[in-house]
Amino acid sequence: MVNGPEGVLYVVDMQEATDRGRIYRVVPEHVQRPKPPQLGKAKTYDLVALLASVNGWQADTAARAAVRAPRPGRFRLLSNMLNRSVLPLARLRALHALDGQARSRKPPS
């Protein structure tokens, strides 16, 4: 199971020992599909703000985008979220992103 970009649930049903299976998209009734977010084009502030999102896919994708590409001010913004957010999950995601940023700067061993 995984949370999709539009906030719905995807369930993968793989058949044992084969390359066949099914993917189910579980959607509540009367939900309209929102426009997919363009996180690759988002500003650093917006990416860090998405760490507080209840949509796990958006938060995870924003964290990866904030760490992978050089972004001005990301350390300050992530540190601010870590120290000031009232949402524990947002603080945890900020800490994880800061750890990823630190690891990406270390030389390979």
pLDDT value of position 105: 64
Which residue matches tokens 């009734």?
29
pLDDT of residue 55: 82
Residue 79: per-residue pLDDT: 93
Cross-strand pairs, 10: 2, 25
pLDDT in single tens digits along all 109 residues of the chain: 777 777 788 898 888 777 888 999 888 888 777 777 788 788 889 989 999 988 888 888 888 888 777 777 888 999 999 999 999 999 999 998 888 777 766 555 4
pLDDT for the residue 73: 84
Are 85 and 93 within 8 A, CB to CB?
Answer: no
Residues in the chain: 109
